[in-house]
């Protein structure tokens, strides 16, 4: 799913988006530029401000920029998030959403030993545009689960586990109630699992998983699930390790990848230099790994870890008083 070798120069689509997206993007690129990797940044517009300015939240020009890039960094979208991120995922066939959940020092983490990946199917389920409509009685949404898409995402989860020295994959569903759609997911999960005998497997109902994330979060390595369940569990996972300001994400397809924090545009603090850029930085680190630049990714990640360990320069949400760029400067100094 990622590039097989590093390149002399990377073309990176950069879409700051709305609100604090501009600030956290500036901070992440400030550190990326100190890694001595040749990045060619091509900026595109998307989001609420773009809609007001251009009459569309996601111009074709921006899609073309993403299409012609090695990877995309995205900041944040406001009210138009569904019209932007969901459409990009669909247009670029980004079938896998990766949400790492990892505890860092000096944060409000429930435990010091949390480190798992949620692999979420991105293309079907309840989040397909046009599959929701009004009726005389109210409204109806159609949930679509296909063997092809679920096999692809489950296969991705097992390959991720194998390549990243993870020992277990947990399939999450609600097959006791959704007997046909989630029953299919469960069947495919164990069909794929047979090809990875070295990896332990288990499956839980989604409601039980929500409880186990609180009671035994250290027991998870890789979770794979459908679109809606993955969305909800990912935000619960963020709560385990200190909030959305520390959670990156990746959207991966066969030929395209987009990396973004999941904290939203936070218009209440936009433009004030208060935003925590760590989730955006961690998203950039995921991009580096996708590009095969693992040494640079390790340096970047190590610098963030050192800053959090020392706890001298932190933003307000982490108990400090530093600005967005002051934290970025501290991370850069610790590379």
Say which DSSP state 197 is in: T
Beta strand spans in 66-212 (E)? 71-76, 96-102, 115-121, 132-134, 139-141, 168-173, 200-205
Sign of the four-CA dihedral 211, 76, 53, 65: negative
Q: Dihedral angle at the C-alpha atoms of 277, 280, 285, 286, nearest 10 degrees?
A: 150
CB under 8 Å to 87, separation ≥6 — which residues? 58, 129
Phi-psi region of 199 (alpha: psi -120 to 50; beta: other; left: phi over 0): beta
Question: Can you count the helices (H) and strands (E) in the chain?
Answer: 12, 12
Beta strand spans in the chain (E)? 10-17, 39-43, 71-76, 96-102, 115-121, 132-134, 139-141, 168-173, 200-205, 222-225, 248-252, 257-261
Provide the annotated active-site residues: 127, 174, 207, 231, 235
Tokens of 8: 């002399």
Q: How many CB atoms lie within 10 A of CB 68?
A: 11
């Amino acid at each position: 799913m990622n590039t097989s070798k590093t390149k002399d120069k990377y073309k990176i689509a950069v879409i700051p988006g709305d609100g604090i997206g501009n600030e956290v993007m500036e901070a992440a690129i400030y550190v990326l530029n100190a890694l001595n990797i040749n990045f060619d940044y091509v900026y595109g517009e998307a989001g609420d401000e773009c809609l007001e300015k251009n009459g569309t939240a996601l111009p074709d020009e921006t899609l073309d920029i993403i299409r012609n890039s090695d990877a995309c960094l995205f900041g944040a979208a406001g009210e138009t998030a569904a019209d932007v991120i969901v459409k990009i995922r669909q247009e670029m066939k980004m079938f896998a959403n990766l949400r790492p959940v990892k505890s860092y020092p000096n944060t409000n983490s429930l435990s010091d030993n949390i480190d798992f990946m949620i692999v979420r199917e991105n293309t079907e389920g309840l989040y397909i545009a046009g599959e929701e409509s009004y009726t005389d009685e109210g409204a109806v949404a159609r949930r679509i689960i296909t063997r092809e898409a679920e096999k692809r995402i489950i296969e991705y989860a097992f390959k991720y586990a194998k390549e990243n020295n993870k020992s277990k994959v947990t399939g999450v569903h609600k097959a006791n109630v959704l007997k046909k759609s989630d029953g299919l997911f469960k069947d495919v999960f164990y069909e794929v699992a047979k090809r990875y005998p070295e990896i332990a497997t288990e499956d839980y109902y989604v409601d039980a998983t929500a409880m186990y994330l609180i009671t035994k979060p250290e027991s998870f390595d890789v979770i794979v699930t459908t679109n809606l369940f993955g969305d909800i569990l990912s935000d619960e996972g963020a709560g385990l390790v200190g909030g959305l300001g520390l959670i990156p994400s990746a959207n991966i397809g066969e030929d395209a990848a987009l990396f973004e924090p999941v904290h939203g545009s936070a218009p209440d603090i936009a433009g004030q230099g208060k935003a925590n850029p760590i989730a955006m930085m961690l998203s950039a680190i995921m991009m580096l790994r996708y590009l095969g630049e693992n040494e640079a990714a390790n340096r970047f990640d190590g610098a963030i870890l050192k800053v959090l360990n020392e706890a001298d320069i932190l933003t307000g949400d982490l108990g400090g008083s530093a600005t967005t760029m002051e934290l970025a400067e501290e991370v850069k100094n610790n590379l």
